[in-house]
Structure 1
Amino acid sequence: MEEKTVAIGDDIAPDTGKPMPKSQMIRFAAGFIIFNIMWMMAGSAGSSVLLPNRFNDLNIGMTPEAILASMNSIGIIFALISNVVFGALSDATHGKLGKRTPWIIPGGIIAGIGYYMTSVAVTLTGIVAWWSVLQIGLNMMIAPCVAILSDRIPQKIRGTLSAFYGVGQIVGQSLGAIIGAAFVTNPRPGFLVGVVIWVLTGIVTIIIIPKELPAVAKDGESFSVKQIVMQFRPPVKGARDFYLALVGRLLMIFGYNMIMGYQLYVCQKYIGLSTTDAAATVSTMATIVMVVSLIFALAGGPISDKLGKRKLPVFVASAIMSIGLVVPWLAPTRTSMLIFSAIMAVGYGIYMAVDQALNVDVLPNPDDAGKDLGILNLANTLGQVIAPIVTSSIVIATGSYALAFPSAIAAVMAGAVIILFIKKAK
């Protein structure tokens, strides 16, 4: 009995109680990569390039930065709520398709509808409303998909599989910037490509990953409104490390996206490039980020598993990203932006390799993995959305992007220090 307990926490798949075959590990890795490539590619093409460029010419009585900030500040409310809601609902789902599968496919379709309608909306109300619909669909996919790491992946290889999850986001974000830059002068086809990608994301993911086992209710467990409501309680008992991970991740993602989320505007208004040159620079930066971070993410996950450490890689990654942010802050040129992207890619690749594995390690209760990972992933969503709001506020108040850089450095390093106080992970 003692040997079985050790094995379940080590190299045994939680859902089957057996070692995971290599073929299944490959399918999970491919599924995680492709899922994150697809949604990040569609999302970043729009949010980083196509929508900001469209807002430049929208003429609705607001600055482009203010439109983007308004869209994100309302969208975040729906992202935050829907991430926790769909994580909790998937935890409580029972049926032949399993707990997570039934939510992933419809999420992509809803996100596609929201994305298309945002791209054609001509009022601030319409932009905000449809972007919020997109956030609902996106988090309907993300919350259950992330929970798969806890439900089905042996602890021994979570760092490796987390690396594949992170690699997908890195590649998707970079490809999205490249696609957005390619369509910056003719955005309509670019938006339509994004719609197709959103709709296919959930379908393709479910086809690739191994079929989920049916979810059966535990003995004595029955459906009730009270039970569903109780699912939404944030963890309290033994949750100290959980909340440290939440705050640390929030600050890192926030600092990173203060600049990366405003790449086009930084190149145009801080570096002083034309729209065409700025788009070309963003495309080159995206290529650098994709290649460099891919290498370091693929190496970082297995190394983290071998060392059995999560906190040290996160701290090192944050320090590297801070160094990267210093370069364009002190020397605002196109070359400095390219150097910045390369250094940031090293740190971001290492961070993304171990991020999800760290999150799973600090879960207070594996039975609530969907809901609790949904709460932890709020840090990702919240950081990405708050960053442009803060950056736009700095620009509006000072008329420059200069103060955004030291603010981003402070946030990234504060997040790294907080992670060091976690006790549950090494």
Structure 2
Amino acid sequence: MPTTRTLASDEHLLDGSYDGPVAVRGPLRRLLLWLAPAYLVLFALWGAVPGILLALQVERLDPAEKVGNLALVTTAGALVSILTQPVAGLISDRTRSRHGRRAPWMVAGTAAGGVLMVVLGSQHTLLGLLLGWVGVSIAYNLAQAPLTAILPDRIPRLARGSFSAVTGMGMLVGMLAGQFLASSLADAVLLAYLVLAAACLVVFTLFTWRNPDRSSAEEPREPFSLRTFARTYWVSPRQHPDFAWGFAGRMLLNLAYYVVAGGYLLYVLADYIDLGSDRAAATIPLLTLAGAPGAVLATVLAGPLSDRWDRRKIFVGVAGLLFAGAMVAPLVSPTVTGMVVAYAVGAFGYGVFQSVDSVLMSEVLPNKQTFGKDLGIVNMTITLPQTLAPALAGGIVLVAGYAWLFPTAIVLALLGAAAVVPIKSVR
């Protein structure tokens, strides 16, 4: 049996290539502890801006047209995110610097994003909001793509469940914290933008300083070609079916989440639960508190357990079933209590999913030389649902009403859980 090795004495193991047991100590533990706040501040931004801050700005421009206008703005930003993520990953894959491949773009993206957040928070026209959100989306995706590549780059396989638990917790708590912050500062939107922008810039800068990567300055680089660029958005399902199934499952489960808890949460509370705009904004912190304990518990337990049992698919399947079950509550009981139950159970299920699914995807990546680009494609499973959800949810609301959002989420979650079953290379 291989012996457990520590990274305090084996620095070379901090590159993701080691496949044996490993203790999370030394530089690896420091990396683990810094990844949590990095994911938290980034996903606080994603949780706060499209679902609440932009929704408030759009509603104040034209309350009668808020549903269609919000769909227009968020869809534009998400479409740009879809295009940016793989390109950002490809650029970081090919970056050669003494600071490594990922760090320069993480800092540059959050710096540019900070400036654009201030611009976005100052807009008072629909066109200004649309262009501002597009710019913010590009900047922060330039930072997110290299951040996600750290998992396969630098984390040994049998430690990835623990790392994914931490990053998954950061994502979920960040989303909830972002919603809490945005709703608390509903009357001071620009201040909310400033807080989020400053937090991202400070944390990402400190992250790259405290966790320096190896220099990539001397690494060989494949000559750039149009063929290389054309492959940026494509991984062949025929050649890599496990990647394709993982991609499908991840996209469906994220779409299930964003259809309900994405851009229309404020309007669901205001119009479906019949709270009105002011009470709806004040209710979001309650939902945050209802979801946070389950999200934290799920991410803390699921990732390490998946490492211990060396199983990934069962966790993703259970997560989909839990989330689908949670969506029954507000469908049956369109009340604040129904939404609280949905958030409590749904956050637990989604926490299991976030904790383990990123590990599953890291184990079906086609080529270690293109981790950044391939994970950019994987990250489309977040941005693509953000694109589709506003259009899908808006169409459902306009045609059939808010109640039909919940059956839609149930079906999507069940399909997402089923999609991981055919994966053969991961247990």
TM-score when normalising by structure 1: 0.91
Partner of 1:136: 138
Q: Give the one of 308, 318, 331 matched to 1:329.
A: 331
SS at match of 1:57: helix
CA distance in 2, matches of 1:235, 1:407: 28
Residue 253 of structure 2 corresponds to: 252
Q: CA offsets per residue over residues 76-123 of structure 1, 9 Å max, x none? A: 221011100110111111221111111100101222223222222222
Find the counterpart in structure 2 of residue 383 from structure 1: 385
CA separation in 1, counterparts of 2:362 and 2:302? 17
Match of 2:213 in 1: 212
Q: Please say if 1:91 is aligned against 2:69.
A: no
Q: Shift of the alpha carbon at 1:277? A: 2.3
Matching residue's letter, 2:417 = A
3-state SS, counterpart of residue 327 of structure 2: helix
2:196 is aligned with what amino acid? Answer: G
Q: 1:369 to 1:323 in 2, by over 3 A?
A: same
Supply the distance in 2 between the matched residues of 1:168 and 1:21 (Cα, whole angstroms).
18
1:280: Cα distance to partner?
2.5
Question: Of 184, 195, 198, which aligns to 2:197?
Answer: 195
Which one of the candidate residues 22, 31, 37 is aligned to 1:28? 31
Aligned to 1:96, the other structure's residue is in SS state coil
Deviation, 1:307, is 0.9
Q: What's the counterpart of residue 242 of structure 2? A: 241
Secondary structure, aligned partner of 1:14: coil
CA–CA distance in structure 2, aligned partners of residues 62 and 263 of structure 1: 17
Give the Cα–Cα distance (whole angstroms) in 2 for the partners of residues 212 and 349 of structure 1. 29
Q: What stretches of structure 2 of length at least 5 have no aligned partner?
A: 4-11
Compute the displacement of 1:232 (Å): 2.2
Give the corresponding residue for 1:68: 70
- The equivalent residue for 1:401 is 402
1:72: Cα distance to partner? 1.7
Partner of 1:79: 81
Matched residue type, 1:364: P
Report what 1:229 is aligned to: 229
Report how many residues are paired: 415
2:149 match: secondary structure: helix
Aligned to 1:283: 285
Structure 1 unpaired stretches of 5+? 5-10
| Distance in structure 2 (CA, Å) of the matches to 1:42 and 1:380 | 14
Asked whether the equivalents of residues 79 and 135 of structure 1 are also in contact (C-alpha less than 8 Å), the reply is yes
Q: Tell me the equivalent position of 1:105.
A: 107
Q: For residue 340 of structure 2, what is the aligned residue in structure 1?
A: 338
User: Counterpart amino acid of 2:197?
Assistant: V
CA distance in 2, matches of 1:240, 1:294: 32
What is the rounded CA distance, in whole Å, between the counterparts of 1:166 and 1:26 in structure 2?
16
| Residue number in structure 2 paired with 1:7 | none
Question: How do residues 37-76 of structure 1 correspond to structure 2 at under 5 angstroms?
Answer: 37-59=40-62, 63-76=65-78
Task: Label 1:115 to 1:67 Cα distance change in 2 as closer, same or farther (>3 A).
Answer: farther
Q: Is the 2:162–2:304 contact (alpha carbons within 8 Å) kept by the matching residues of 1?
A: yes
CA distance in 2, matches of 1:249, 1:88: 21
Conserved? CA contact 1:13–1:154, under 8 Å: yes
Q: TM-score, normalised to structure 2's length?
A: 0.91
Aligned to 1:165: 167
Q: Structure 1 residue 310: deviation in Å?
A: 0.7
Q: Root-mean-square deviation (CA), in Å? A: 2.3
Distance 2:354 2:16 in 1: 25
Aligned to 1:8: none
Identity %, equivalent residues: 28
Are 2:187 and 1:185 equivalent residues in the alignment? yes
For residues 109 and 243 of structure 1, what CA distance do their matches in structure 2 show?
A: 34
Specify the SS of the correspondent of 1:141.
helix
